[in-house]
Amino acid sequence: MSDLLAGLNPEQQAAVKAADGPVLIFAGAGSGKTRVLTHRIAYLIQEKQIPPYQILAVTFTNKAAGEMRDRIRELAGDNHGQINVGTFHSISARILRREAESLGYSRYFTIYDDDDGLRVIKQIFKDKNLPTDQVPPKGVFYTIKNYKNQMIGPDELVDQPFFFRGGIDLVEVYRLYERRLKQSNAMDFDDLLLKPIELFKNNPAILKLYQSRFRYILVDEYQDTNRAQFQMVKLLSEVHQNLCVVGDDDQSIYGWRGADIRNILDFQDAFPKAQIFKLERNYRSTKTIVTAASAVVGNNRDRATKQLWTEAEQGDPITVLHASDDQHEARLIADKLLEISQQSELTFSDMAILYRTNAQSRALEERLRDYGIPYQLVGGTKFYDRKEVKDSLAYLRIIQNPADDVSVARVLNTPPRGIGKTSELRLASFALDEDISLFEALKRVDETAVGTGPGNRVKDFVTLIEKHGARLAESDLGDWVQAYLIETGLIQQYQAEDSEEAESRIENIYELINGIREFQGRHEEPTLEAFLEEVALLTDVDKLTDDRRQVTLMTCHSAKGLEFPIVFLAGLEEGLFPLIRQTDGDGDLEEERRLFYVGLTRAEKRAFISYCSARQRYGETLLAKPSRFISEIPMDLMEMSTAKVLGDEQPVTTGTNRRGKIMSERKQSPFVAKRIKPEEAVDYAVGQTVEHAYFGRGRIMAITGSGGDSKLTILFAGNQQKKIIARYAKLKIITK
């Protein structure tokens, strides 16, 4: 055991050895939580003699699950056995594949992503002739998702009537949505978490089976669990109570998608006999970064008492970049990236630019391209979301699950095969009237009102699907996919277009085929079912590569769990980061503060923070002031770049925070902008030449509205068109 615990600090060792009963491990950023988790599993196998198959380890990304498996293999050697390691969704899908029939599904059910789910809602709108001009189907779809996330089904909403504009009954649409999924032998992502709970509650014998199998359960990133995930692990651990959860409430940043911070903060209420350990030593970042991040998140009231610390060197101060606008900000960041790459041994792959919203990436990407700096964008258009790839996957999904109406409808006339919209509507209507799947309706096309010509082409489509479905079992998976996709006509369709875009689409289809061949190499018994499930459960971070010398661009949310020597946090302005409105409560601000903490603690050696005086948002130029988070960083931990500083230095202050804890004496950051005061009324007119402090000279092209609230459209040098509210414009009139 001494070898297994060697290299662990006392707190980590204690957490590893507390093998039995409920355990909560608070693991601060960079405190070695994955190390503790993997050593704990190895300890269970080697010291407690627990059979590996009785251990269940759950995390949130496939990438993290893969890393965990590799580390366990290194620690436990040949004894690692068949440990159950995976994400909540993949573990749930595995259980549901085995037990699907108990829920009225086939084990070959399809997993629908949000795009597929939205297609179902759109079809319901079409079938029920619901008005899309007043209420977009997308709004209804995400309302349903929100209720499912809270474990609220349509039956629970009966006593709470909810009607959208145009008389659209949410309960009716919700019920139809659930019914359509069941008829299509499909589950959406929310179902993957909800159905196991339904399975266990309705089938005590099945629950007992899995409780007996999973005697020791470990959950990573527990602060990100939602109500359904909490219920699932609670049910599975009820008998043995050997539940170990690891997380950090200061890194709970997914409340907007259902994560409940109370799961970790109230763990001891749910499990009164729980042992609690705190890992507070950071092994990742410099003292500067750790102290700055702790100072900011320490302003939150709803958090467990703990203090992150490190024995690392002090490190460089955090550099604050002040830009005039988002274009200037992108240039400043690009300059710094080049400077660091030329003056140190670090490469571009050691650097990341993090931001609050995906929209911020545009200006950054443009400048990086101008500077010739290679980059990878995480969270942009994903490979598996591209049209030609989704079309190809739809063809594959039909083979696995012919009842998948969404996939059948997607490719019935893709590529075009002469089956018009009228024929499609008649087929869909027939399927609805007969209460059968769309593919079954295609097989019975002679019974429909579809004409002879389109009907024959429908029969050809059915023959294509059935022919390749029959060949699958006896074929090499990669060879079968290639032959099948070629015969669908997708590749020939793009070859006929003879354009760069079409060539790119062909490459993507072949890249999908290559991906399937790689999948074959990674699995002893590769199946189409397993490949489609793996693709359905992939996340952005799972596809992140670190073997190329390129800067990584991503949101702070996507950066969770990653680390880089150099990190840039862009767009630190009020209203953007924190992204809050006047109607938001303290809880929203606290989550934004936790998000900043996550972003800053991704940095190992140096951190840069940038903000603008004006930013293009919502199609117009808006004046901005620095984020309050900058003012919450001790002044002696920051250095200002040579850019102009907004605001005045504040006097030294001493006081207490909202929890009554005495705060160390420090100066407030000088980056708190002066409140923008409305200027006196100025008579602006179209055609005037004016001068702006940042954008230079320009000509007023249009004025909408009146008085101080009117918007001025101004064309500045370089053909830059800006929209500025008159009362805040502070323009100098050059010519009348």
List residues with catalytic annotation: 33-34, 220-221, 251, 602
- Residue 28: exposure state from Cβ atoms within 10 A (0-12, 13-18, ≥19): buried
∠ CA 625-631-634, nearest 5°, is 155
Q: Comparing C-alpha atoms, which of 731, 715, 362, 714 is closest to residue 571? A: 362
Helix (H, G, I), strand (E, B) or coil at 203: coil
- Residue 494: exposure state from Cβ atoms within 10 A (0-12, 13-18, ≥19): buried
- In SS3 terms, 23-86 reads as EEEEECCCCCHHHHHHHHHHHHHHCCCCCHHHEEEEECCHHHHHHHHHHHHHHHHHHHCCCEEE
First to last CA, the chain: 85
Helix (H, G, I), strand (E, B) or coil at 244: strand
The DSSP code for 676 is P
- Return d(Cα 369, Cα 88) in angstroms, integer: 38
Contact between 696 and 731 under an 8 Å Cβ cutoff? The reply is: no
Q: Comparing C-alpha atoms, which of 584, 416, 563, 397 is closest to residue 488? A: 416
- Return d(Cα 220, Cα 246) in angstroms, integer: 5
- Residue 572: exposure state from Cβ atoms within 10 A (0-12, 13-18, ≥19): buried
DSSP string covering 557-580, please?
TTTTT--EEEEEE---BTTTSS--
- Return d(Cα 715, Cα 688) in angstroms, integer: 11
Distant-in-sequence, close-in-space partners of 385: CB < 8 Å, separation ≥ 6: 115
Diameter of the chain measured on Cα atoms: 87
C-alpha R_g of the chain: 29
DSSP string covering 632-662, please?
TS-GGGEEE-SSPPPS-PPPEEEEE-TT-PE
- Return d(Cα 698, Cα 714) in angstroms, integer: 6
466 Cα distance to chain centroid: 37
Q: Characterize 439-470 residue by residue with b for buried, 16 or more Cβ atoms within 10 angstroms of its Cβ, and e for exposed.
A: bbbbbebeebebeeebbebbeebbebbeebee
- In SS3 terms, 167-195 reads as HEEHHHHHHHHHHHHHHCCEEEHHHHHHH
Amino acid identity, position 655: G
* Interstrand relation of 652-656 and 662-667 (parallel, antiparallel or unpaired): antiparallel
Distant-in-sequence, close-in-space partners of 360: CB < 8 Å, separation ≥ 6: 326, 570, 571
